[in-house]
């Protein structure tokens, strides 16, 4: 599973099968396996992409590489992966790991080789993925596109260092879903509660259209059901908090973009948030 770090990974059109994108998994890989089985996912012809945050909080986090290999997951870097890499390689604080549900990393102290392999995998994850489809280019980042132009954002990602402002924003920015939360360093539970309150009161903000791309798929900010702002689709439906697992087939994007942000999406989700739950 040795990989070289490339800021943006590009994938040609899949002419053999289907392409899927899954929301934040946070160590809930068995739920993913059940959904893929229902979809008759075949890794020899189908492809599975992820919006990042594969680990933390969920009990199967230590097995991340096993599941990445089993389902051939191609993921972007999430804020959780980035925090782990910074902690392990650049002297990050233990408190940042504990506050993000990363106690499992300390439990792996006895197996330094396994921990090294996990960090090496995360350090190689790109900040963005581009996929060619019949409808045009589809992009994936973890949190948001902080620029109106996808090509300009890609150029910035390829030129910046690890502390560059665009690289930080694509993994942390909640402003498309939580106006005023551009930096994104806000409690996930608080962000989720505030977002639910806004939607309950009828709040709608379609957001700006990202130029140079047919659609962008993100996660990071938990929502009760997948949401659309402009041509950006949020598929983090809070799996680790008792919410849904959202698995989007890219063929469904045109239909989804034609629906309003508050309509019930048509694509696959398994179970929903129980009433009154939070993130």
8 A C-beta contact, residue 167 and residue 159: no
Task: State whether residue 123 is helix, strand or coil.
Answer: helix
Residue 279 burial (CB < 10 Å; 0-12/13-18/19+)? Answer: buried
Query: Given this model, what pLDDT does residue 180 score?
Result: 62
pLDDT for residue 270? 52
- Give residue 258's pLDDT: 81
Parallel, antiparallel, or unpaired for β 47-50 and 19-22? parallel
Say if CB 31 and CB 245 are below 8 A apart: yes
88: tokens are 């392990």
Q: How many residues does the chain have?
A: 279
CA R_g for the chain: 17
Q: Can you list the domains of the chain with their CATH numbers?
A: 16-270 (3.60.21.10)
**49-91 confidence digits (pLDDT tens):** 999 999 999 999 999 999 999 999 999 999 999 999 999 998 8
Mean pLDDT by 10 residues, the chain (279 residues): 87 97 98 97 97 98 98 98 95 90 93 95 98 96 96 98 96 87 51 52 58 97 93 96 96 81 47 36
Structure tokens at 272: 């929903």
Across the chain, mean pLDDT equals 87
- How far apart, in whole angstroms, are the C-alpha atoms of residue 7 and residue 95? 27
* Residues 161 and 86 sit within 8 Å (Cβ to Cβ): no
């Amino acid at each position: 599973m040795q990989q070289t770090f490339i800021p943006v990974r590009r994938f040609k059109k899949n002419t053999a099968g289907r392409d899927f994108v899954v929301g934040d998994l946070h160590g809930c890989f068995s739920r993913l396996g059940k959904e893929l089985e229902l979809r008759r996912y075949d890794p020899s012809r189908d492809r599975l992409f992820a919006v990042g945050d594969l680990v933390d909080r969920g009990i199967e986090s230590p097995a991340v590489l096993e599941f990445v290999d089993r389902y051939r997951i191609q993921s972007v870097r999430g804020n959780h992966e980035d925090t782990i890499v910074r902690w392990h390689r650049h002297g990050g604080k233990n408190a940042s790991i504990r506050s993000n549900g990363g106690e499992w990393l300390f439990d792996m102290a006895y197996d330094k080789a396994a921990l090294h392999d996990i960090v090496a995998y995360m350090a190689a994850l790109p900040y963005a993925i581009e996929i060619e489809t019949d409808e045009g280019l589809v992009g994936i980042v973890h949190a948001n596109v902080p620029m109106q132009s996808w090509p300009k954002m890609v150029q910035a990602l390829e030129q910046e260092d690890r502390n560059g402002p665009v690289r930080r924003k694509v993994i942390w920015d909640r402003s498309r879903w939580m106006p005023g939360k551009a930096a994104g360093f806000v409690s996930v539970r608080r962000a989720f509660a505030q977002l639910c309150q806004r939607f309950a009161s009828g709040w709608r903000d379609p957001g700006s259209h990202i130029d140079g791309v047919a659609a962008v798929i993100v996660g990071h900010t938990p929502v009760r059901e997948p949401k659309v702002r402009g041509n950006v689709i949020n598929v983090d439906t809070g799996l680790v908090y008792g919410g849904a697992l959202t698995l989007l087939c890219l063929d469904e994007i045109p239909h989804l973009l034609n629906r309003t942000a508050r309509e019930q999406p048509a694509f696959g989700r398994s179970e929903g948030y129980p009433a009154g739950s939070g993130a």
